[in-house]
Amino acid sequence: MAALREPEPSEAVEAEGGRPAGGSARRSTAGWIARLTVLIALAAAPRAAGAQPRTVGLVIYAPEEAPATRDEVDQALTRAARGDGWTADPRPFAHAARAMAAGAVTRERLDRFARAEELAAEGWRAYLEARPTTAVSRLGDARGEAAALLDLDGGLELYADLSLRIGAARLALGRDQAAAEDFRLAAGLDPEREVTDAEFKPAVVQRYAAARGERRGSAMQRIESVPPGAAIEVDGRAAGSAPLTIEVPIGLHVVVARAAGRAPRADVVAAAPDAPVLRLELDTDRLAAAVAGGTAGFKLGREERSAALVAGAVLAYGELDALFLVGTVWRRGAPALLGQICRGGVPARCGKVVEIGYARAADLPRAALRLWRAARSAPSGFPATLLGDARLVSREPAPGAGDGGGGGGGGRRWWRSPWLWIGLGGAALAVTAGLLVAGDDEIEPVVVGDPCDFGGC
């Protein structure tokens, strides 16, 4: 969050130190604010054309006896993308897995940091302008956003800072008891935070110190997890594995549960002698599972919804602007490329599958460029359908390979081609052959779109 100071809100802050995983050591407030400012800048950075380099992940299918190898298609598409200012990533799954293992956070979650900062800035501005009711409202909204970030590095400190500022605003409204609760929570989450009159009014400093030093009674809090065995953290400190019962001071506390293969779960609990059991249910981390599954999640024939989920996970953790699914196949006895571009979201949002045919191996680079540009401009709003596309799954055999198919379930007989009986009937084959190459610099696409639109697939 940007530095919010009173009476000098524009004073700069400087990063200090860090906190290892597990929360045993605490970062200074200045340090986490500086780091969070960087995260927010990344989240808010524009992704529009020309704003920054864009990256496309390549997933290429080159079945046995395909007209081009995976490396050949990879090189051709990399050059095509580079010509339009894009960087091609030939190993998006591996890079996404490494980023996830290193603790990468999806852009959607970073956006919540940015939203919390925006609301906090509005709330603190209202407080400085002596509008405490508005301040409590805006700061409360910011803390609501931060509640979804409590399992992330910096999330506890953000929640603590917002609690401290809400306490200051409530104190201005004469709500001393509620302010004290906020102050105690802030102190428990970020005990190394220094609260001085360089940032806050003397009354806030005094009440914060009093609330922090108050010795309240303790309570036994029972914590369970579904599934059992989740690692539990209370106020950023490891507490053991659920189910467990822990003694904590009466008042508000943040509990985080973590388990392999599950999305972390965080909750704010009010500990008291008669407090109910805190039961935390951890959902399966679908994105992490999709990335961990690697390329197995993109096998041919994969159901389109599952494929779109995998694509969304790779896009999110791989920090990609697009994922390009490409197949190299034979179509009507000539080489062709199939392509579909998917963009961010869970599940991913994809464009329509396009097909580009060409006549000779030497034409592959120009065909790849035409495929790249046609796929980028294709209508969007489709699932990841290429994995189940009949042209790739039940692919046509290579010329001279007979009628048995190319290992994908048998090729279509020539008389069942949906293109044979369109236009001029049998003469269409000759016309199509004449359209495969138009001059030395341009390749006329045999198909731009989905031939299944004409039936027969």
Residues forming beta bridges with residue 223, ordered by sequence position: 244, 278
**Count of beta carbons in the 10 Å neighbourhood of residue 241:** 15
> pLDDT 10s per residue in the chain (457 long)?
333 333 333 222 222 233 333 333 334 444 444 444 434 443 444 444 344 679 999 999 998 899 999 999 999 999 999 999 999 999 999 888 888 888 888 778 888 999 999 999 999 999 999 999 999 999 999 999 999 999 999 999 999 999 999 999 999 999 999 999 999 999 999 999 999 999 999 999 999 999 999 988 999 999 999 999 999 999 999 999 999 999 999 999 999 999 988 999 999 999 999 999 999 999 988 878 878 777 777 888 877 888 888 888 898 888 899 999 999 999 999 999 999 999 977 788 999 999 999 999 999 999 999 999 999 999 998 888 998 999 999 999 999 775 544 444 444 444 334 433 333 333 333 333 333 333 333 444 444 444 443 333 4
User: Of 52, 100, 103, 69, which is closest to residue 321 (Cα–Cα)?
Assistant: 52
Phi, psi of 370 (to 5 degrees): -65, -40
Name all domains of the chain by residue range, CATH numbers in brackets.
29-47+105-213 (1.25.40), 54-99+288-454 (no CATH), 218-281 (2.60.40.10)
The distance between the two most distant Cα atoms of the chain, rounded to a whole number of Å, is 93
Phi, psi of 13 (to 5 degrees): -120, 160
With beta carbons less than 8 A apart as the criterion, state whether 229 and 201 touch. Answer: no
Distance CA 344, CA 350 (A): 9
User: Of 350, 348, 281, which is closest to residue 311 (Cα–Cα)?
Assistant: 348
| Burial bucket for residue 207 (CB in 10 Å: 0-12, 13-18, 19+) | buried
The DSSP call for residue 407 is S
CA angle centred on 406, ends 400 and 409, rounded to 5° = 135
With beta carbons less than 8 A apart as the criterion, state whether 260 and 285 touch. Answer: no
| Burial bucket for residue 273 (CB in 10 Å: 0-12, 13-18, 19+) | exposed
